[in-house]
Amino acid sequence: MKNSDIYVTRSSMPPYEEYIEAIKPLWDSHWITNMGAYHKQFEKELAEYLDVPELSLTVNGHTALELVIQSYNFPEGSEVITTPFTFISTTHAIVRNRLQPVFCDVKMSDGTMDEMKIEEQITEKTVAILPVHVYGHVCNTEAIDEIARKYGLKVIYDAAHAFGIQYHGKGIGNYGDASIFSFHATKVFHTIEGGAVVCRTHEMYQKIYDLKNFGIHGEELVTSVGANAKMNEFSAIMGICNLKYIDRAIASRKAVFEKYQELLVGRPGIRLLDHSADQTNNYAYYPILVEDAYGKTRDEIYAELKRKGIHPRKYFYPLTADQACFKNRYKKVEICNARWLSAHILLLPIYEGLEIKDVERIAESF
């Protein structure tokens, strides 16, 4: 690792003095976790920013997803229809809740779950659909909702990639029964580590609250079995600080994104994924598909860039369904599109502050 190396992402940092100033009050109050003042303030600010009715902060995105699933108390062994074209966390959250993932294929156009292939996977054991707004590409929420209503299923979105995105003029967290966000250091918006559950009802907010705080309801009263998944005050303050600069961060990413578009759209053998006109973009990722016609394979480009100190990533390869821990364990489903995408995808570096001359260098390096 050299200092001049370019990684696929880099954490946005608020101005140093500002964060240091902001955490000073913690040395007076000595209150550094347990739903302190900043947790409260950040929860409120974030619910407003994301334009959602209910939001509960958590220690990370993965735990948020585990707790949402857990909050529904699905019978052990129930089936959850999900996508294999995602970060391993999505599938882990299902399996760690003792449920069975049923992998549904994705669309070649944008990598999101193929709504036309959901119904054929529904059985009497199906309880939920768990799609991912992969790379911030919004799923076909209308079709998914309709299927869910018809069969009485819950819809839980993994919106870890979709921070701040609006769809049909509404915050993305308003779709489905619940969504989770990740504020991990590598995401568009971060709290170092952190996440949130967003949901429609205060009743569900309460359930998540209990699950994230041991079910404690007073010094001598515990009413349900819960975990510990609270966000601490240092993270909440990092969130408050970063939220002030989120527009700047996204604008910087947009400039990078547009430069890549200028240099790569129309390059023979390089295909880009579609992006719905009904949504805004957070420019979280820059995925390219290296088709056979390019003359070099995805893996050759990956190696070539690495040699030049540029570190793209093969997200998401392998598919979660093909990982050692899950392979051949669950219902066998044709997932040809997901396999193709996974074999041809490469994510180029994009982050706040990536210089345009570096974008040019990257695009010219393969």
Ligand X SMILES: *Cc1c(COP(=O)(O)O)cnc(C)c1O
The count of residues interacting with ligand X (CB under 6 A) is: 14
d(CA 147, CA 160) in angstroms, rounded, equals: 23
Identified binder of ligand X from the candidate list 9, 86, 232, 282, rule CB under 6 A: 86
Closest CA to 60 of 22, 12, 18, 93: 93
Interaction of residue 137 with ligand X, rule CB under 6 A = no
* Cis-peptide, bond into residue 316, ω within 30° of zero: yes
The nearer residue to ligand X, 317 or 366, going by C-beta atoms, is: 317
Closest CA to 4 of 355, 346, 326: 355
Binding mask 170-209 for ligand X (x = CB under 6 A): ------------x-x----------x--------------
Identified binder of ligand X from the candidate list 39, 161, 212, 271, rule CB under 6 A: 161
Interaction of residue 60 with ligand X, rule CB under 6 A = yes
Identified binder of ligand X from the candidate list 39, 62, 137, 271, rule CB under 6 A: 62
Stretch near ligand X under the rule CB under 6 A, chosen from 66-74, 85-93, 282-290, 337-345: 85-93
Identified binder of ligand X from the candidate list 14, 42, 56, 61, rule CB under 6 A: 61
AA letter at 270:
I
Backbone φ and ψ for 89, nearest 5 degrees, come out as -55, -40
CB 84 within 8 A of CB 338: yes
Interaction of residue 78 with ligand X, rule CB under 6 A = no
Report the relative pairing of strands 286-290 and 270-272 from DSSP bridges: antiparallel
CB 72 within 8 A of CB 62: no
The nearer residue to ligand X, 74 or 163, going by C-beta atoms, is: 163
Identified binder of ligand X from the candidate list 12, 83, 89, 282, rule CB under 6 A: 89
Supply the minimum distance, in Å, between the C-beta of residue 50 and ligand X: 16
CB 181 within 8 A of CB 196: yes
Supply the minimum distance, in Å, between the C-beta of residue 182 and ligand X: 3
The nearer residue to ligand X, 60 or 166, going by C-beta atoms, is: 60
d(CA 133, CA 277) in angstroms, rounded, equals: 15
Supply the minimum distance, in Å, between the C-beta of residue 158 and ligand X: 5
Interaction of residue 160 with ligand X, rule CB under 6 A = yes
Supply the minimum distance, in Å, between the C-beta of residue 363 and ligand X: 24
Interaction of residue 212 with ligand X, rule CB under 6 A = no
Closest CA to 52 of 212, 155, 170, 132: 170
d(CA 77, CA 263) in angstroms, rounded, equals: 48
Stretch near ligand X under the rule CB under 6 A, chosen from 137-145, 153-161, 169-177, 291-299: 153-161
Stretch near ligand X under the rule CB under 6 A, chosen from 19-27, 115-123, 156-164, 223-231: 156-164
Stretch near ligand X under the rule CB under 6 A, chosen from 49-57, 82-90, 95-103, 169-177: 82-90
User: Which residues contact residue 139 at a Cβ distance below 8 angstroms, ignoring those fewer than 6 apart?
Assistant: 112, 113, 115, 131, 132, 133, 157
The nearer residue to ligand X, 189 or 366, going by C-beta atoms, is: 189
Supply the minimum distance, in Å, between the C-beta of residue 46 and ligand X: 15
Identified binder of ligand X from the candidate list 12, 70, 90, 140, rule CB under 6 A: 90
Closest CA to 275 of 292, 258, 291: 258
Six-digit token string for 219: 């010094």
d(CA 4, CA 55) in angstroms, rounded, equals: 39
Report the relative pairing of strands 195-199 and 178-182 from DSSP bridges: antiparallel
Interaction of residue 158 with ligand X, rule CB under 6 A = yes
DSSP letters of 108-155? TTTSSB-GGGTGGG--TTEEEEE-B-GGGPPP-HHHHHHHHHHHT-EE
Backbone φ and ψ for 147, nearest 5 degrees, come out as -65, -45
Interaction of residue 298 with ligand X, rule CB under 6 A = no
Binding site for ligand X (CB under 6 A): 60-62, 86-87, 89-90, 132, 158, 160-161, 182, 184, 195
